[in-house]
Structures are given as C-alpha cells and as structure tokens.
Amino acid sequence: MLKIHNLIFYNYFLLCAFGAWFGSQFLKPIFNYIFTKHLEISKIFSSGGMPSAHSASVSALAFSIGRHNGFNSSSFAISTLFATIVMYDASGVRKNAGDQAKILNKLINFLNVKKFKNLEEEKNFIESKNEKKPEKMKPLKENLGHNLIEVFAGIIVGIAIVLLIPY
C-alpha cells in the first residue's frame, strides 16, 4: 500500500515543490520584518506577501522537472505552462480580488458607522441618543495576491530550493 510519506519524501519533484512552498512561507515573517521592522510570526500561515509561495512551488516543480527530464521535454513544457498560469493568477486575478476587498472594507466600515435604512431612521437614532451600536460586519481579507516583485522572489526561492535538494 502506498504511504503518504513515501509519496512526498521519495518523489523528488514533490519534495522540491513542497520544500519551496514551506521555505517561502517561513521567509515571509523575515521579509515582513525587514520591510516593516515588526515581527509577525503569523505571516507563516498567510497568503500574499514576499515571497510568493505559489510562485515558489510551481517554479520549483517546473525547474526540477526540467533539471531531471531535460528542458526540451514535454513534461517541462506542461509544468512551465502550469506555473505561468498559477503565477499570472497570483499576480493578476487574486491581486485584483484583494484590491476589491480593500474597497469593500471601506464600504463595510462606512456601513458599520451608518447602518440605517433611510434618513428618517438615522434622524430618530441620533435624536434618541441610543447607545446600542448596529450589528457589525467583518472585514474581508485584503492580502490575497502578489505584486511582480513578490512573484519573482518566489521564482528565485523555487529555483534555489531545487538547487539545494540533490536528486
């Protein structure tokens, strides 16, 4: 029977991809500290930030396949196309979703302060001097995607991990 540890630890390509993922996640608090002078260990478990774990893992997968099977192989071509799509998504679609979340959070903050159906209801609330606040909405997560520098840093981490792990 196939055991999960055999699948990961004896598969060079998965070992490189997962190694790059974990390596980049553990680098996030370090880069965050360098840029902000504030250490946040929780960045290990977050999406977004420097370097991109998505970029690191898919570039490690593609590079390890190219290193083993040859950079002219069909498996390298497939993995490179896959990596390109993932990195485009991380820097494009997910980045835009994060930007939209920022705008929506501003709207949520506004609604948390002014949560009335009409001006008459707001006027009655103000005149009553009611201390009870309206129900609050939770803000959306804003740091979803990556900028190009974070994507390129992920690529460098991914390639470096492959070069550090012997085949």
Q: Answer yes or no: are the C-beta atoms of 151 and 91 closer than 8 Å.
A: yes
136-157 per-position pLDDT tens digit: 667 766 666 778 899 999 999 9
**What φ, ψ does residue 131 adopt, rounded to 5°?**
-85, -15
> Are 158 and 59 spatial neighbours (Cβ–Cβ below 8 Å)?
yes
pLDDT digits 0-9 by tens, 90-126: 887 777 777 787 788 777 777 666 556 666 766 666 5
This prediction has a pTM of 0.73
- DSSP type of residue 132: P
Per-residue confidence (pLDDT) for residue 28, from 0 to 100: 93
Q: Which residues does 93 contact at the CB level (< 8 Å), separation at least 6?
A: 145
Q: What is the phi/psi pair of residue 52, to 5°?
A: -75, 120
Confidence of residue 25 (pLDDT cuts 50, 70, 90): very high
